[in-house]
Copies of this chain bind each other. A is one copy, B any other.
């Protein structure tokens, strides 16, 4: 068994994959963890993917649409998004989110 090392989130490269959305990505065998900082006013159009996604709002306020439901996420709000479910949203303030995907987002590797 290889001994894993303790790591710092700050050491993970930041990638602006969509305008105003800054991603730090961690890939494991079965998941991708995505820490996302979003600038106020930035939005991500409705999209979908084969991965399940769990989204946790860590800081700020984010207007999220999932399927036919739109709600304002605040810290401690979370949502479990099934595979292929359309979703998207807009940062009302600067935000931090944690998205957890299953399986791994190979398109982000």
Q: A3-B68, A4-B82, A78-B7 are known contacts. Are A31 and B73 too (CB-CB below 8 A)?
A: no
Please give me the residue from chain B that is nearest to A6 by CB atom.
Answer: B71
What's the Cα separation between A96 and B77 when bound, in Å? 17
**Residues A13-58 near B (CB distance < 8 A):** 26, 28-31, 33, 52, 54, 56
Across the interface, do B79 and A3 meet the contact criterion of CB distance under 8 Å?
Answer: no
Complex interface: chain B residues within 8 A of A69 (CB): 3-6
**Residues A64-99 near B (CB distance < 8 A):** 64, 66-69, 71, 73, 76-82, 84-85, 98
Seen from chain A, the residues whose Cβ lies within 8 Å of a Cβ on chain B are: 1-10, 26, 28-31, 33, 52, 54, 56, 64, 66-69, 71, 73, 76-82, 84-85, 98, 100, 102-103
